Amino acid sequence: MAKIILFATGGTIASTRTADGSSVSASVSGAALKDKLRTPLDGIEVEVVEFSTVGSFGIDLPLAFSLSTRINAALENVDRDGVVVTHGTDTMEESCYLAHLLRQSEKPIVFTGAQRHAGDIDSDGPRNLGDAIMVAASPKARGLGAMIVFEQEIHAARDVTKMHTSRVDTFRSPGFGKIGDIDGIDIRIARLPALEEPHRIGRIESRVELFKLTMGCSPWILDAAADQGSRGIVLEAFGRGNAPPAFVEAISRLTRRGIPVIVCSRCAEGLTRAVYGGGGGGHDLVEAGAVLAGSLSGVKARLLLSVLLAEGHDRSAIAKRWATLAS
């Protein structure tokens, strides 16, 4: 019999309307979610851990790091075959990717949740949870790292993002596609994801900020963040990794202070590359000391930078390692 640990953290899947009906909030336990499963899980034993009961918009990096630590500890037990995490969709991709970066086992780590709260008559939570448990228990899912199971699809932690505010098929993997799907009780893996090396850290560096660039925006926020103690900066820049010209000198100021600056793209697909000059192109940003993020999104690059800083790497070492970690 497969043994799965279910970490319940809250989110829409665990939310119901408040007494006055004005809003929904997380209040349903993991045990209650398990009891609402509509599909029998033959041959699978599920042990519930009540980790938290919050909306995922309230989860911060230290709490997500604590979750990853608990996941790794649970999977050290040879009698446990995998982990499922119920989580709010707002920041699910971030907790999932952090768990992926910090994984210490080949056993599956599967995140899931819902877009319709537990009180909705057609909530998508029970089916998503049942599917996630089946995937976590499947030998086919071993070695795939952390993943998100949602609306009968399986997505790799590195690639997946929330694409729609309310639709039940919100999770997609732009540029890469899902890695598999669930058809009834059948698990199908269509492709293998790219897997970064796992990391071991005793804490997470949460003083890393992410800023999205817009036409003609000012770089003053970079200096302000550095002055307030930020240890690293991630920029979601234009196209291949370009920025308004004033950002060149701002990046140079930060890198001279030893603060790494990672440059991603606002685009959902494609790689950053130092192609353009002209005073604000990617080539100029790299000359100023920035590191191009490859295909990583801004939120994922922030997590990887947080982990590398927690490992004790300085700006120079991060620049050297990034190409092999995030291309």
| Res. 176 pLDDT band, cuts 50 70 90 | very high
Residues 266 and 315 in one domain: yes
Q: What is the pLDDT of residues 282-316, one digit of tens each?
A: 999 999 999 999 999 999 999 999 999 999 999 88
Taking the alpha carbons at both ends of the chain, their separation in whole angstroms is 39
Burial of 21 (0-12, 13-18, 19+ CB in 10 A): exposed
Mean pLDDT of 133-140: 97
Residues 180 and 268 in one domain: no
Mean pLDDT of 4-25: 93
Which residues are within 8 A (CB) of 153 and not within 5 positions of it... i.e. 6 or more apart? 169, 171, 178, 180, 181, 182
List 12, 112, 161, 272, catalytic entry? 12
Count up the domains in the chain and report the number.
2
Residues 174 and 66 in one domain: yes
In whole angstroms, what is the distance from residue 253 CA to residue 259 CA? 9
53 annotated active-site = no
Residues 166 and 295 in one domain: no
pLDDT at 325: 65
In whole angstroms, what is the distance from residue 61 CA to residue 206 CA? 6
Residues 222 and 312 in one domain: yes
Residues 108 and 161 in one domain: yes
pLDDT at 327: 55
CATH number for the domain spanning 275: value is 3.40.50.40
Q: What is the pLDDT of residues 28-46, one digit of tens each?
A: 999 999 998 977 788 999 9
Residue 22 annotated in ligand binding: no
Residues 220 and 302 in one domain: yes
Residues 65 and 183 in one domain: yes
pLDDT at 313: 95
| Res. 89 pLDDT band, cuts 50 70 90 | very high
Q: What angle do CA 148, 60, 47 make, to 5 degrees?
A: 50
Q: What is the pLDDT of residues 194-229, one digit of tens each?
A: 888 899 999 999 999 999 999 999 999 999 999 999
pLDDT at 183: 95
Mean pLDDT of 240-259: 97
Residue 90 annotated in ligand binding: yes
pLDDT at 179: 98
Residues 169 and 261 in one domain: no
Pairing mode, strands 232-237 and 208-212: parallel
CA dihedral of residues 321, 324, 326, 327 (deg, nearest 10): 130
Q: What is the pLDDT of residues 111-120, one digit of tens each?
A: 999 999 999 9
Residue 56 annotated in ligand binding: yes
Instruction: Give the HSE-up count for residue 260: Cα atoms under 13 Å, Cβ half-sphere.
Output: 28
Structural domain boundaries enclosing 285? 208-326
Q: What angle do CA 300, 255, 320 make, to 5 degrees?
A: 60
Residues 164 and 260 in one domain: no
What is the pTM for the complete model shown? 0.96
List 9, 86, 89, 170, catalytic entry? 89
For helices 298-310 and 92-101, give the axis angle rounded to 10 degrees: 40
Residues 128 and 76 in one domain: yes
* pLDDT for residue 326 is more than 70: no
Residue 197: inside a domain, yes or no? no
In whole angstroms, what is the distance from residue 178 CA to residue 174 CA? 9
Q: What is the mean pLDDT of the chain?
A: 95
Choose the weakest-confidence range: 23-27, 83-87, 234-238, 310-314: 23-27
9 annotated active-site = no
On whether the CB atoms of residues 168 and 133 are closer than 8 A, the answer is: no
Mean pLDDT of 36-61: 93
| Res. 323 pLDDT band, cuts 50 70 90 | confident
| Res. 66 pLDDT band, cuts 50 70 90 | very high
pLDDT at 154: 98
Q: What are phi and psi of 54, to 5 degrees?
A: -140, 160
